[in-house]
A and B are shown apart, each in its own frame.
Chain A
């Protein structure tokens, strides 16, 4: 099975900051990676798929990059509405999620 490791586990940043979350795969997954945002009590929401494609309706401050084993999710200018837990997911070989990164506002 492919293991997905996110870092950091918790992140605190100020409104307007540039925020980066990293996801590493235990073996190469090409670009078969998605990012999700989950707010408390809600279902996850797809943000990015195929490593860098922005899902329709998602603000352009979200972007994804990477291939192979290392990937990043970047929020170019953090907004209060972005407080959530973020998960990466590989779909190269079945499906595995990272453990999540909780994003807070300072």
Chain B
């Protein structure tokens, strides 16, 4: 069974930084592309970032490019999202998701809440 467990969510001040982690198990992590998707309170889903299975290719949404960095450690079956220069609009539940086939998301973690507020 695929299991994705996010951690690192917290209350952080505007301008601050935070690193999210996702521990993966139940599948061959180093064979899968991975993504982060977020959802602001009461709002819809927003794709944040993509990383290839090797970690060599990375893409970002315009709203976070230059502030967020996605990375992975295939030896430790872990995905990360380093978030800098945080803004109020970054307040959201952040989901770690696998990417299947051509780009859809078969597996989701339970999410971790990040609140950006003074």
Where the two chains meet, the residues of A that have a C-beta atom closer than 8 Å to any C-beta of B are: 1, 32, 34, 36, 38, 43-46, 49-50, 55, 87, 89, 91-92, 94-100
Query: B residues within 8 A CB of A91?
Result: 102-104
B109 to A43, Cβ gap below 8 A? yes
A36 to B46, CA, bound (A): 13
Counting CB contacts under 8 A, is B47 at the interface? yes
B102 to A97, Cβ gap below 8 A? no
What number of residue pairs across chains A and B have CB atoms under 8 A from each other?
57
- Give the residue among B50, B95, B104, B111 with the most A Cβ atoms within 10 A: B104
**Interface range for B:** 20 to 34
Where the two chains meet, the residues of B that have a C-beta atom closer than 8 Å to any C-beta of A are: 35, 44-47, 50, 59, 61-62, 95, 100-106, 108-111
Query: A residues within 8 A CB of B102?
Result: 32, 49-50, 91
Query: A residues within 8 A CB of B59?
Result: 94
The minimal Cβ–Cβ distance linking B84 to chain A, given in whole angstroms, is 22
A90 to B70, CA, bound (A): 21
**Contact status of A94 and B47, CB under 8 A, knowing A43-B95, A43-B109, A43-B111:** yes
